[in-house]
Amino acid sequence: EIILTQSPATLSLSPGERATLSCRASQSISSYLAWYQQRPGQAPRLLIYDASNRATGIPARFSGSGSGTDFTLTISSLEPEDFAVYYCQQRSNWPSFGGGTKVEIK
């Protein structure tokens, strides 16, 4: 079983600041990683797949990087609607998700 560990658990930032979220896999997953955003009361939304590809309609301020075991989601300049919980997900064997990082307003 592949375990995804996300850090930090909570990130306190102000609008306009840069957010850097981390996801670490317990073993190599190549580039088989996705990122999702979940706002309160809403379903998750796919942001990034295959580690670095933006999904349809996702703004350019969201970017993903990494391969193997270490991955990063970067939000270049936080907009008010970006304050949410972010999950990483791998598909190297059956799908599994990380525990999430909450990006909150400082």
Partner 1 sequence: EVQLVESGGGLVQPGRSLRLSCAASGFTFDDYAMNWIRQVPGKGLEWVSGISWNSGNIEYADSVKGRFTISRDNVKNSLYLEMNSLRPEDTALYYCAKDMGYCSGGRCYWFDSWGQGTLVTVSS
Does residue 87 touch partner 1 according to CB under 8 A? Answer: yes
Does residue 31 touch partner 1 according to CB under 8 A? Answer: no
Does residue 66 touch partner 1 according to CB under 8 A? Answer: no
Name the residue nearer to partner 1 (CB basis): 82 or 89: 89
8 Å CB contact between 52 and 39:
no
The CA-based angle 38-39-45, given to 5 degrees, is: 40
Cα separation, 19 vs 95, in Å, equals 25
Residues within the interface to partner 1 (CB under 8 A) = 34, 36, 42-46, 49-50, 55-56, 87, 89, 91, 94-100
